[in-house]
Structure 1
Amino acid sequence: MTHHPSTGTHPRTPGPRSAGREFFTARTVADALAGFRPARRTTVEEVPLADALHRVPAAEVPAAAPLPGFARSTVDGYAVRAADTYGASEGLPSYLDLVGAVRMGAAPEVAVRPGAAVGMPTGGVLPEGADAVVMVEHTAETMPGTIEVTRPVAPGGGVVRADEDVAAGAPLVRGGRPLRAPDLGLLAAAGVTAVAAHARPRVVIVSTGDEVVPPDTAQLHPGQVRDATASALAGLVRDAGGDPVVAGIVSDEPGALEDRMRAVLPGADLVVVSAGSSVGARDETAGAVAALGEIWCHGLAIKPGKPTLLAECAGVPVVGLPGNPLSALVVFRLVGVPLVWRLAGCDTPPPEPSTSARLARDLPSAAGRLDVVQVVVRDGLAEPIFGPSALLSVLTRADGFLVVPEPATGLDAGVEVAVTLYR
């Protein structure tokens, strides 16, 4: 089952919205996914088949010849004329002359004439004159050179046509969809050893904050925190087929983020600014982006992750994330990951694994926003996990997440919910 943020739950009746004043006007996640669609795409390059898993072909790849290319047996048995088996049964078998056998990897050296049969291995080339293969389980060799058939076979039974896998000129793979393992197998079967695919999007991750220090900092001073978000974001980027580039930590000094963004934009397909997108006095992302490009929105109707910024600077999309690690990762999974796939030429990201479960307890929510709730799934029950958005352990303990749609004021215990599972 595929999970979509606005479906898969049973909401309560919406209640009145809070009358409290908002810091900024928030757009819905659905609006962001539908409306923030930068035109940028990565360049196209020739990719060897061995490196093509999850890469996105720039166009469909047609078959130069039919596959498998010859009529072949799908069972061990005997190649026959189907008409010679009609009416055969255990009590009244058909008797056929065994006139030879087909060897694997070789063309047949014998044809099937009326009243005759040829021994067949699975995958062997169907000999001339035959139109079916009867399974060995439905035959017996009663005497040398003669077999009896105890069950009839229809024309085409036990056989794959020469073009049944793929017809000549038909697409082997489609453009715009990431290549999966079976796609690589089909391309190899057709003799395709490289494919024209979009380059992996280069995603530059910039961390901000005077309190943030590199992960290899041995001793923290009071108030300092190691940069955990950048490493986690890099993992999400790799999962989405991107190439993450961690560009270090920028101080809260005015102008520092704008300078760093000017430096990284020319080599980026996407810039992600970790922290700095909320409305505090120190938060620099909005100002830096406004100086370099155009802000599409500042604020999403989502919890956690409301102070998210989406923008474009010099043709490069920019995502500004909240400072709390949980909030940053939740919103990047919902909005940033589809953007990475889009940059790589894939407009519809591959669906994430999901499952159905029953909610273990009542789940309150506020109407007008999308609530993303981490859950543990055990024995068909989804148990919500709660904790401050600064705690990464909430995510590491979760098996997946569910969403409460914007109109709902909560979900009742016992309702069936769709849980998106973490790989």
Structure 2
Amino acid sequence: MARPTHREFFAVRTVSQALAGFRPQRRTSVEMVALERAHRRVPATAVRAPHDLPGFARSTVDGFAVRAADTYGASEGLPSYLEITGAVAMGRPPEIAVEAGTAASIPTGAAIPDGADAVVMVEYTQEAMPGTIEVVRPVAPGDGLVRGDEDASAGAELLPAGRPLRAQDLGLLAATGLTEVGVRARPRVAIVSTGDEVVPPSTPEPAFGQVRDATAVALAALVCDAGGEPDVRGIVPDDYDALDHALREAVGSCDVIVVSAGSSVGSRDETAAVVAGLGRPGIWTHGIAVRPGKPTLLADCDGVPVIGLPGNPRSALVVFRLIGMPIVRLVGGATHPVQEPGVRARLDRDVPSSAGRLDVVQVVLRGGVASPLFGASALLTVLTRADGYIIVDEDATGLPSGSDVDVTLYR
């Protein structure tokens, strides 16, 4: 079989074009998981209430269940007097009813007895005589209680499809009695390192010119953060046949392929040539207007997205955070944007940039001041020293010292 040819080109796309335009159709399968294992999993379909919630009208305060009309006009100078006819017990159906001129003692969470349409807080009552209370503040119908369908009515959408489940979402599902939920399987993400100079991190003494693989383990951590399952495939030399074999195996068994494509132009050409032959429609772009990380490749190979990253670890991690993680989330069914933690800060020095390119600048934060960190794309310490990063948009030509900026924080 003849090798596909691919000439490296830089008809670059912007980051926003990549995020909006590269939309592979692959989605992982659906599986049922127990509620206690569903945190951050992605519902495959909207989750609907099987019944009204909470299911019965209940008190939200400690006080007295009353007919609201019996309290109208009440004040400290002219209180309403109500006869106490009994008490409502927690966790049991009320055994009494409220009639005109009467009230029932009720704790927070107990069911509202028949006849009552409000609960007056105990703080707004006082005992006038044994068996009788004074109400010194009026209540309106619905005060101090929730209706039986106020949290949710039967059949209503409780949680949307595509938004990872949060702790409060699990609590809501538990309240409805749902003990398992249908979610998308975690995307299996193959991570392939390439390069004749790359050796495993466990190598005691790399030979002169060799470097330990610093990218794969860090990418695996980001894959986990994106809800995927990393499948680290090891190091492949800069050899067409070896890389073709490794990537074809990965395409046949994984949902997303990530290739750390080497630093040299030759190695990037080799990787692009292999990817071009993996399946249709093939390479979507080979070049993104971002610094660091311009030589990024995106391809859709018979439904499997392939992400070709720069060889420099810092560039690879920056680009994967911006573009790779959203792709992993998309394949895993997530459709709601993730809100990363961030703060507003003031720049303490100028940040140069070039129009037409998005710049990702690492910063250190101290007392509301952001100090940019600069250095070659091969320097990992620029990332490890950073508290977060700022974005200089494509249409900007830099940011002057004193600018207010949004800092995305590392977690």
Q: Does 1:106 align with 2:84?
A: no
Q: Distance in 2 between matches of 1:91 and 1:149?
A: 11
| Aligned match of 1:33 | 19
Query: Residue 284 of structure 1: SS of its match in structure 2?
Result: helix
Q: Distance in 2 between matches of 1:400 and 1:342?
A: 24
Q: Does 1:201 align with 2:202?
A: no
Q: Distance in 2 between matches of 1:208 and 1:373?
A: 26
Q: What is the identity, as a one-letter code, of the residue corresponding to 1:104?
A: M
Do the aligned partners of 1:277 and 1:286 also contact (CA within 8 Å) in 2? Answer: no
From 345, 369, 385, the counterpart of 2:333: 345
Q: CA deviation at 1:280?
A: 3.1
Q: Distance in 2 between matches of 1:78 and 1:118?
A: 5
Q: CA deviation at 1:283?
A: 4.9
| Aligned match of 1:246 | 232
Q: Does 1:316 align with 2:304?
A: yes
Q: What is the identity, as a one-letter code, of the residue corresponding to 1:240?
A: A
Q: Can you give the 5+ residue segments of structure 2 that lack an aligned partner in the other structure?
A: 1-7
From 288, 301, 305, the counterpart of 2:274: 288
Q: How many residues are aligned here? A: 402
Q: CA deviation at 1:305?
A: 0.3
Q: What is the identity, as a one-letter code, of the residue corresponding to 1:48?
A: A
Q: What is the identity, as a one-letter code, of the residue corresponding to 1:411?
A: L
Q: Distance in 1 between matches of 2:178 and 2:116?
A: 31
Q: Does 1:410 align with 2:398?
A: yes
Query: Residue 25 of structure 1: SS of its match in structure 2?
Result: coil
Q: Distance in 2 between matches of 1:131 and 1:281?
A: 75
* Farther-moved stretch of structure 1 (215-224 vs 78-87): 215-224
Q: Distance in 1 between matches of 2:139 and 2:258?
A: 62
Q: Does 1:226 align with 2:212?
A: yes
Q: CA deviation at 1:23?
A: 5.8
Q: Distance in 2 between matches of 1:314 and 1:281?
A: 23
| Aligned match of 1:354 | 342
Q: CA deviation at 1:198?
A: 0.8
| Aligned match of 2:352 | 364
Deviations for 1:28-73, whole angstroms, at most 9, x for unmatched residues? 0111111111111001111211111111111111111110000000
Q: Distance in 2 between matches of 1:395 and 1:79?
A: 60
Q: CA deviation at 1:220?
A: 2.4
From 116, 120, 141, the counterpart of 2:102: 116
| Aligned match of 2:203 | 217
Do the aligned partners of 2:262 and 2:312 also contact (CA within 8 Å) in 1? Answer: no
User: What TM-score does the superposition give when structure 2 sets the normalisation length?
Assistant: 0.95
Do the aligned partners of 1:178 and 1:350 also contact (CA within 8 Å) in 2? Answer: no
Q: Does 1:176 align with 2:162?
A: yes
Do the aligned partners of 1:357 and 1:416 also contact (CA within 8 Å) in 2? Answer: yes
| Aligned match of 1:298 | 286
Q: Distance in 1 between matches of 2:365 and 2:268?
A: 39
Do the aligned partners of 1:299 and 1:306 also contact (CA within 8 Å) in 2? Answer: yes
Q: CA deviation at 1:349?
A: 2.9
From 35, 50, 62, the counterpart of 1:64: 50
| Aligned match of 2:5 | none
| Aligned match of 1:19 | none
Q: What is the identity, as a one-letter code, of the residue corresponding to 1:120?
A: I
Q: Distance in 1 between matches of 2:88 and 2:374?
A: 66
Do the aligned partners of 2:191 and 2:258 also contact (CA within 8 Å) in 1? Answer: yes
| Aligned match of 1:401 | 389
Q: CA deviation at 1:351?
A: 1.7
| Aligned match of 2:139 | 153
Query: Residue 215 of structure 1: SS of its match in structure 2?
Result: coil
Q: CA deviation at 1:282?
A: 6.7
Do the aligned partners of 2:313 and 2:380 also contact (CA within 8 Å) in 1? Answer: yes
Q: Distance in 2 between matches of 1:279 and 1:295?
A: 17
Q: Distance in 2 between matches of 1:349 and 1:262?
A: 31
Q: Distance in 1 between matches of 2:385 and 2:15?
A: 25
Cα 1:282–1:313 change in 2 (3 A) is: closer
Q: Distance in 2 between matches of 1:77 and 1:270?
A: 58
Q: CA deviation at 1:263?
A: 1.5
Query: Residue 140 of structure 1: SS of its match in structure 2?
Result: strand
Q: Distance in 1 between matches of 2:264 and 2:290?
A: 14
Root-mean-square deviation (Å): 1.5
User: What TM-score does the superposition give when structure 1 sets the normalisation length?
Assistant: 0.92
Q: Distance in 2 between matches of 1:238 and 1:378?
A: 29
Q: What is the identity, as a one-letter code, of the residue corresponding to 2:407?
A: V
Q: Distance in 2 between matches of 1:185 and 1:281?
A: 50
Q: CA deviation at 1:216?
A: 1.9
Q: Does 1:162 align with 2:162?
A: no
Map 1:8-27 onto structure 2 (within 5 A). 24-27=10-13
Q: Can you give the 5+ residue segments of structure 1 that lack an aligned partner in the other structure?
A: 1-21
Q: CA deviation at 1:266?
A: 0.9
Do the aligned partners of 1:292 and 1:313 also contact (CA within 8 Å) in 2? Answer: yes
| Aligned match of 1:390 | 378
Q: CA deviation at 1:372?
A: 0.4
Percent identity, aligned pairs only, is: 67
Q: What is the identity, as a one-letter code, of the residue corresponding to 1:241?
A: G
Q: Does 1:81 align with 2:89?
A: no
1 or 2 for the larger relative contact order (CA 8 Å, sep ≥6)? Answer: 1
Do the aligned partners of 1:54 and 1:179 also contact (CA within 8 Å) in 2? Answer: yes
Do the aligned partners of 2:65 and 2:116 also contact (CA within 8 Å) in 1? Answer: yes
Query: Residue 255 of structure 1: SS of its match in structure 2?
Result: helix
Query: Residue 82 of structure 2: SS of its match in structure 1?
Result: strand
